[in-house]
Structure 1
């Protein structure tokens, strides 16, 4: 069964190295928490807020040889008043035996404020 697994992270500043490091850390945490292998991944969607312009976050994942062939798409997040600044969101579509209630979504640092409803399941 293919499931959507969500995650988000906020960076302190729009610097390419920081954006790439945070993106890779989030992606690898999603994989680890959901016991995923590269072969399980169907696709990855990444959105970023308009204030991140230094680099495509997907580059961080693509630069890893083991993730080279995963289809990844980046898009700009909707600009909403009061929304988090410098936020990178990821949705991994993956084959997993987990049901919707068992999937582990990963929200790191300040981004955990996005999904307080999943507080028991949110990773800090």
Structure 2
């Protein structure tokens, strides 16, 4: 079965190291909580709000052991008035036997506001 695993985080500044570090934190927890191995991953899509352009969040995946060949892309999040700023979102499509309701979606920092029903992470 192919499932989508969602997550999001925020940064305080448009700073390359913070973008990559926060994206790495997010992916590390998402992978751990869902017991994902890179061989099971179909693709990973990151989006970032327009106020983040100092680094590609996808670069964080290269810090994960064994993720060298996982297909990954970055894109711009649409600019909706009043939406959360400095936000990085991720969608990981993965082959898994986990039931949809048992997938652990991960939201860190201010991104917890996006899905308070799925509280999971760093503040």
User: TM-score per shorter chain, which class?
Assistant: over 0.9
Q: Per the alignment, in what secondary structure is the counterpart of residue 66 of structure 1?
A: coil
Q: Distance in 1 between matches of 2:19 and 2:2?
A: 28
Question: Which residue of 2 is the match for residue 111 of structure 1?
Answer: 111
Q: Verify: 1:19 aligned to 2:19, yes or no.
A: yes
Q: Distance in 2 between matches of 1:56 and 1:11?
A: 13
Paired residues, number: 121
Instruction: Show structure 1 runs of 4+ deviating over 2 A.
Output: 62-65
Cα distance per residue 1:21-71 (max 9 Å; x no partner): 011111111111101111111100000000001011111213545211100
Q: Assess, with a 3 A threshold, how the Cα gap between structure 1 residues 8 and 39 changes in structure 2: closer, same or farther.
A: same
Q: Per the alignment, in what secondary structure is the counterpart of residue 43 of structure 1?
A: strand
* Aligned counterpart for 1:123 among listed residues 80, 99, 120: 120
Question: Which residue of 2 is the match for residue 9 of structure 1?
Answer: 9
Q: Per the alignment, in what secondary structure is the counterpart of residue 100 of structure 2?
A: coil
Question: Which residue of 1 is the match for residue 45 of structure 2?
Answer: 45
Q: Distance in 2 between matches of 1:32 and 1:63?
A: 15
Q: Distance in 1 between matches of 2:76 and 2:119?
A: 24
Residues 14, 53 of structure 1: 8 Å contact kept: yes
TM-score norm. by structure 2 comes to 0.93
Residues 24, 63 of structure 2: 8 Å contact kept: no
Unaligned runs of 5+ in 1: none
